[in-house]
Amino acid sequence: MCGIAGLIHKGKSSNVGGEMTAMLQALKHRGPDSTGYAVYGEGTEGDYIMRLKVAEAEDMDSGSRIHGVIEDRIASVEAILKEHGALVKAKAAPTEYCLRYVISHDGDTAKMATHIEEDEGIEILSMGNGLELIKDLGDASDVAELYGLEDFTGTHGIGHTRMATESDVDIRSAHPYWAFPYNDISVVHNGQITNYWIMRREMERKGHRFMSNCDSELLAVYTAHNLANGVPLEESLRRSINEIDGVFTYLVATKDQLGMAKDTMAAKPLVLYESDDLIAMASEEVAIRAILPEEIDTHDPYDEEVRVWQA
């Protein structure tokens, strides 16, 4: 029954972190297992923001051994960055198992990311000029406090509250998903993809990597594959309605766009608010009213509806 939410400011930056937290907290009842954010700041030309995890939150109960493993993995990451000529400009560790790097790199970013993930305990959650992808166990207020999201300034973002139904309760299976190794693309999804394994094998044959068994990750990989091959976001969303089977409503964010698509049956809810300056959407209207308590008009997108907005 998961909850999804997204917003985009057309003409200015705003407190996207605080707005997304309010929206996702209002959807807490739809998904108590984990909460995730993909938020987009303005970024600095030539820099990449890399978010990664070196363990699962649940691993931290394993005693002193896991701390030694984490130290080794962090050392490995930093050695690989150096080997590939990446300059670390800033480093933060909101938790022991999740880190944030700001790096300058003009080499093959995909090759570097692949090298980092050779240790199966390390997963890059996102890499991009503007994208920061944060996800963890707990509700939105817990995750926002843990990662300092309440004051994040940016132009747009998407988020997800997850009720685990077919995969584990861990960070690996939480949304949003980033499509390795393509910068600044993220996806959240409510629904079920019934041709997941067929589509996944097709994407794997084309060289794409999957880090979970969650069907929603397919949408990120599918979108990134299309965009990398010159397909505009709106066309990719339209193609997905015909090529991906199941019931789904999903949101896609890129560096400067936000898009949505609903499947043929439109079984998964989405409520949309649109003004000259702001677009906000969520699984339930209560999430939109968490940031716009005044009198507003909303509507439900139709079946097979596709929309794309520009930041």
* 251 burial type by CB count under 10 A (0-12 exposed, 13-18 middle, 19+ buried): buried
Annotated catalytic, 2? yes
CA 154 from chain centre, in angstroms, equals 15
Q: What CA–CA distance (Å, rounded) separates 228 from 59?
A: 35
Cα distance from N-terminal residue to C-terminal residue, the chain: 29
DSSP string, the chain: --EEEEEEESSS-B-HHHHHHHHHHHTGGG--SEEEEEEE----TTEEEEEEESS-GGGGGG-HHHHHHHHHHHHHHHHHHHHTT-EEEEEE-SSSSEEEEEEE--S-HHHHHHHHTTSTT-EEEEEESSEEEEEEES-HHHHHHHHT-TT--BSEEEEEEE--SSS-SSSTTPSPEE-TTSTT-EEEEEEEETTHHHHHHHHHHTT----SS-THHHHHHHHHHHHHTT--HHHHHHHHHHHS-EEEEEEEE-SSEEEEEE-SS--S--EEEE-SSEEEEESSHHHHHTT--S----BPPPTT-EEEEE-
Which position among 2, 116, 187, 290 bears the catalytic label?
2
Residue with tokens 């939150």: 57
Q: What CA–CA distance (Å, rounded) separates 38 from 156?
A: 9
The catalytic site residues sit at 2
